[in-house]
Amino acid sequence: MSAQTDHSNPICGALGCHETADVVIRHPKHGKRTVCDNCTGGHVVIRHV
């Protein structure tokens, strides 16, 4: 747990993950999700945050 909390960035929306979000993906069930690079799950990246 060495990551610093950056209040200017959202937190990854994946369950149980508290990393800083890096990208917005289009999830087939959940729609747009803001997640970190490790939680894209191979889904389409809409944009970076």
How far apart are CB 9 and Zn ion at their closest, in Å?
12
- Which one, 19 or 45, has the nearer CB to Zn ion? 19
* 24 binding Zn ion? (CB under 5 A): no
Long-range CB contact pairs, 7-16, < 8 A, 24+: 9/49, 10/34, 10/49, 12/36, 12/39, 13/39, 14/39
Of 4-23, binders to Zn ion (CB under 5 A) are 12, 14, 17, 19
Binding stretches for Zn ion (CB under 5 A): 12, 14, 17, 19, 36, 39
